[in-house]
A and B are shown apart, each in its own frame.
Chain A
Amino acid sequence: ETGVTQSPTHLIKTRGQQVTLRCSSQSGHNTVSWYQQALGQGPQFIFQYYREEENGRGNFPPRFSGLQFPNYSSELNVNALELDDSALYLCASSLAGLHGYTFGSGTRLTVV
């Protein structure tokens, strides 16, 4: 059984650029959630994808968007990057209707 895999592990982008982060969910899981973890803070819910559609969204602007693919993998896209977007982005997979996230190790995004 494979866990959650995220890529890349680290990324440096310039303010105003766009970024795409990728996540492969754990085998058997059909739901993917994305969280933003700022330095020294707890993870904050960005959105969740189920059946290739957004299934809920936290308090993040529309420039944060995502996709889920038929194999349940997912992408997080962030447009018009701002300095405050610098954070660890965590992908978590789960089975719809059940508690229990499996988190990936995250992508550390630095915006300069």
Chain B
Amino acid sequence: QQQVKQSPQSLIVQKGGISIINCAYENTAFDYFPWYQQFPGKGPALLIAIRPDVSEKKEGRFTISFNKSAKQFSLHIMDSQPGDSATYFCAASYTSGTYKYIFGTGTRLKVLA
């Protein structure tokens, strides 16, 4: 019940295209869902996050869609750019206790110029 399943494992998109990464969770007690971006040799950096009382959140070219009933959420990257090439992790957390994050296994995105 603690797992967060992420797909696809890797993704290749043309410049200007839409990149879509999906995540699913089991534990309905999770109430905070962030997405992190990680470049080689660097630590993960927070991209965007959502709470389950909202179905969509947009920040620039990045959008999270959240489906509470299906226990799924996804990251959409519009107008994908070569600079977006990185590994993306979804995560789930509780707003209590340690606030620890359960991360997905990651999606390696490559945007072709």
Interface residues, chain A, with chain B CB atoms under 8 Å away: 4, 33, 40-45, 48, 55-56, 58, 90, 92, 94, 97-101, 103-106
Interface residues, chain B, with chain A CB atoms under 8 Å away: 4, 6, 32, 34, 36, 41-46, 49, 89, 91, 93, 95, 97-106
A40 touches B101 (CB 8 A): no
A40 touches B106 (CB 8 A): yes
Interface SS of A by simple majority: loop
A103 touches B32 (CB 8 A): no
Q: Contacts A42-B105, A105-B43 given; indicate if A99 touches B99 (C-beta within 8 A).
A: yes
B89 touches A43 (CB 8 A): yes
Q: How far is the CB of B105 from chain A (nearest CB, A)?
A: 5
B97 touches A56 (CB 8 A): yes
| Among A4, A55, A105, contact of B98 (Cβ-Cβ < 8 Å) | A55
A/B interface sample: 12 pairs, CB < 8 A: A4-B43, A41-B105, A42-B91, A42-B105, A43-B44, A45-B98, A45-B102, A56-B100, A90-B44, A92-B43, A99-B49, A103-B36
